[in-house]
Amino acid sequence: MNWAWTSKFDSGNCATIEQIKKPKFVTEKALQQLPSNENVYFNLYNDVDNGTSTFRSYFNVLLRPSEIQHDNDLNLVDFLSLKTPENQPTKNLIFIWKTPPKTTRLIQNLFRPTFRHLNPTKTRRDFYKYPTIHDKIIEELQILDERLIEVNELIPDYQQVPFCIASSAIQAVDDDDEKVVIFAISSQNLIQISYSAPYPLSHIYYKYIGIKYLSSSFPAKLRVIQQEIGRTVLNFPILKFSIISKPNTPKLALSCRVHPGETLSSFLVDSIVISAVNFKIPVLDNFQILLFPCLNPDGVYLGNYRSDSLSQNLNRSYDQFDEKRFPVNTALVRTLSVEKPLILIDFHNHASILNAVLFGNDILTDAKQQNLELQTPTNQQILNLFFCKTITTSAFFNTSKCDFSYGSMEKTDQKGEGFDGTLRVISHRVCKIPFSFTLETHYFCYETMGKKCFWHVHEMCQIGEEIARGVCSFMALRNLKDFLGKIIRFLPCGLEVKKRIKEGKVDEEGVSEQWRMEIKEAEEGRGFVQGNEK
């Protein structure tokens, strides 16, 4: 039986897949838990970003049986139109991943590839509840960029056809004495296999344009404003979505996918936004949301792991204001400087720390280094730590690894690139955003009660909802702190004015309206109502 494959689609990536005979180093013990189907063996090779960078890409590929042999990576349309032999039996597809990253760490951290079975005759529109809205979204995407159409027309998203997790992955040493990873998946037809659940650029933009159209049915309750803030090196649109229920509230900025392979961050941001627009959690009572759902459209589309189309790590380059080399960074910093959100959270995944962690800035030390006045930075740093406390309340967070030190703003990574060029630091120093954070979750697993457990999408949704509740709690704490400060500041003065009026030393009519309001608020405590400042 022949097998054909393709990685030539939005977010697809694979160097090559070759069908082979059973290797000698694959023992019967490694296969003993597989179903009693025929085994088919493949060597799987991934590449580096753009084929030339120092960042290793992972894989996202479609595979299916075919009547004829295909040695090359097919384009998506040709691949989906292939004829599959009828009555194809289920087979165990055994993949020998020949070019993995550190295999020991992968296995220790419960690495499992994701997969799903697709029907080549069933398009995305067939799954969608609102076909007319689907058609409008496709029309708008076509105007933005025709490259965003193919996957949205042909491949359903993760909610329509969910991803599963392979039952196991094992480390082995091949015949060339190289470390490899072996995993197996049973299939009889078209299957998508990926390093982690993929979330392509086309689906990201489709989702939020769809939310915009659905929100237009409730204009009095919710507005979603879409804006193109620039174009990438490959001429993809850089989109910002403003989600507004109460226009006079402060702004909460959410961003993700500056590193394309960190797909879990998209699921997490989805959860926050959906809980807000459904009014499940009162985020929109406290904030306007500024959403930047993809900070590296080029890298996501190309299926890169970490870099953009020029093999650059954009999250070390926000201090590089170069329209040609760094159009996303330049457009984002310019936009944030104008919008001036109160809070920015930039979402990532990581491989070294279990669970989720939060990184913030040491605002006070940073002000001292610049010889600035310290009262405001001191207050901001107190609230910074409040934010960490309100966000990291669940067992999913590793609070001991959260870092708000000055060193976290100035250190360098393994490649010698400084954190002073990250979005978290630049948004504080250049855009003057009071509270900016990096939130990271582990790629594969979390630890609870001393046991490692694999992440599922529904757990990402739980974390997203907890973050949404956390930002609301932070806002209540901030308003309460401001109100108590106001009481402490004005109460003695207000009482002194009343005393002088009573003693006849000050004419009551001579007391200004401002003082009257301050006295009234100090006495009655009406400056803080249900977590909102009047």
Query: Does 515 or 346 have the greater pLDDT score?
Result: 346
Phi, psi torsion values for 176, nearest 5 degrees: -95, 10
- Give the SS3 label for residue 353: coil
* Residue 200 domain-assigned (yes or no): no
Whole-prediction pTM value? 0.88
Report which of 50, 61, 10, 62 is spatially closest to residue 201, judged by C-alpha positions: 10
Q: Is the pLDDT of residue 75 over 90?
A: yes
Q: Are residues 65 and 95 in the same domain?
A: yes
The C-alpha atoms of residue 141 and residue 145 are separated, in whole angstroms, by: 6
* Residue 445 domain-assigned (yes or no): yes
CA angle 303, 309, 313 (to 5 degrees): 90
Strand-pair category, 251-256 with 288-292: parallel
In which region does residue 467 sit, left (phi positive, over 0), alpha (psi from -120 to 50) or beta (all else)?
A: alpha
Last residue of a domain, one of 430, 461, 492: 461
Rounded to an integer, the average pLDDT of 400-407 is 90
Query: Does 104 or 252 have the greater pLDDT score?
Result: 252
Q: What percent of the chain has pLDDT over 70?
A: 90
* Residue 60 domain-assigned (yes or no): yes
The C-alpha atoms of residue 165 and residue 168 are separated, in whole angstroms, by: 8
Rounded to an integer, the average pLDDT of 313-339 is 96
The C-alpha atoms of residue 242 and residue 205 are separated, in whole angstroms, by: 14
pLDDT, residue 296, reads: 98
What's the mean per-residue pLDDT of the chain?
A: 87
Rounded to an integer, the average pLDDT of 279-307 is 97
* Residue 296 domain-assigned (yes or no): yes
Q: Are residues 527 and 409 in the same domain?
A: no
Q: Are residues 398 and 517 in the same domain?
A: no
Q: Are residues 166 and 274 in the same domain?
A: no
Rounded to an integer, the average pLDDT of 217-239 is 93
The mean-pLDDT minimum among 247-261, 374-388, 488-502 falls in 488-502
Going by C-beta distance under 8 Å and a sequence separation of 6 or more, which residues neighbour residue 465? 271, 272, 275, 280, 281
Last residue of a domain, one of 194, 210, 240: 194
CA angle 361, 479, 372 (to 5 degrees): 40
The total number of residues written for the chain in this structure: 534
Q: Is the pLDDT of residue 530 over 50?
A: no
| 211, two tokens | 């939310």
pLDDT, residue 104, reads: 87
First-to-last alpha carbon distance for the chain, in angstroms, is: 72
Q: Are residues 275 and 367 in the same domain?
A: yes
Q: pLDDT tens digits, residue range 389-398?
A: 888 888 889 8
Q: Are residues 167 and 251 in the same domain?
A: no
What is the identity of the amino acid at 45? Answer: Y
Q: Are residues 403 and 290 in the same domain?
A: yes
Half-sphere exposure of 233 (CA within 13 A, CB side): 19
Confidence of residue 522 (pLDDT cuts 50, 70, 90): low
Q: Are residues 241 and 108 in the same domain?
A: no
Q: Is the pLDDT of residue 506 over 70?
A: no
* Residue 146 domain-assigned (yes or no): no
Q: Any bridge partners for residue 174, and if so which?
A: none
Q: Are residues 382 and 422 in the same domain?
A: yes
Last residue of a domain, one of 432, 461, 490: 461
The mean-pLDDT minimum among 27-36, 90-99, 302-311, 393-402 falls in 27-36
CATH number for position 295: 3.40.630.10
Q: pLDDT tens digits, residue range 157-176?
A: 999 999 999 988 999 999 88
pLDDT, residue 509, reads: 53
Q: Are residues 485 and 434 in the same domain?
A: no
Q: pLDDT tens digits, residue range 135-161?
A: 999 999 999 999 999 999 999 999 999
Q: Domain of residue 108: give its range.
A: 2-123+159-194
- Give the SS3 label for residue 421: helix
Q: Are residues 168 and 294 in the same domain?
A: no
The mean-pLDDT minimum among 200-204, 323-327, 367-371 falls in 367-371
Q: What's the number of domains the chain is made of?
A: 3
Q: Is the pLDDT of residue 507 over 60?
A: no
Q: Are residues 326 and 393 in the same domain?
A: yes
Q: Is the pLDDT of residue 17 over 80?
A: yes
* Residue 467 domain-assigned (yes or no): no
pLDDT, residue 382, reads: 86
Rounded to an integer, the average pLDDT of 29-46 is 87
pLDDT, residue 451, reads: 84
* Residue 430 domain-assigned (yes or no): yes
Q: pLDDT tens digits, residue range 80-89?
A: 999 887 788 9
Distances (CA, A) of 255 to 81, 238, 398, 436: 37, 12, 21, 11
pLDDT, residue 452, reads: 85
Rounded to an integer, the average pLDDT of 373-395 is 85
The C-alpha atoms of residue 368 and residue 77 are separated, in whole angstroms, by: 59
Q: Any bridge partners for residue 348, and if so which?
A: 440
Instruction: Write out the H or E segment, with its range, that includes residue 40.
Output: strand 38-45
Active-site residue set: 440
Rounded to an integer, the average pLDDT of 117-128 is 87
The CB density around residue 515, as the number of other CB atoms within 10 Å, is: 15
* Residue 204 domain-assigned (yes or no): no
The C-alpha atoms of residue 319 and residue 421 are separated, in whole angstroms, by: 5
The 10 Å CB-count burial string (b at 16+, else e) for 286-325 is bbbbbbbbbbbbbbbbbbbbbbbbbbbbbbbbbbeeeeee
Contact (CB, 8 A) for 317 and 271 = no
Q: pLDDT tens digits, residue range 232-272?
A: 999 999 999 999 999 999 999 999 999 999 999 999 999 99
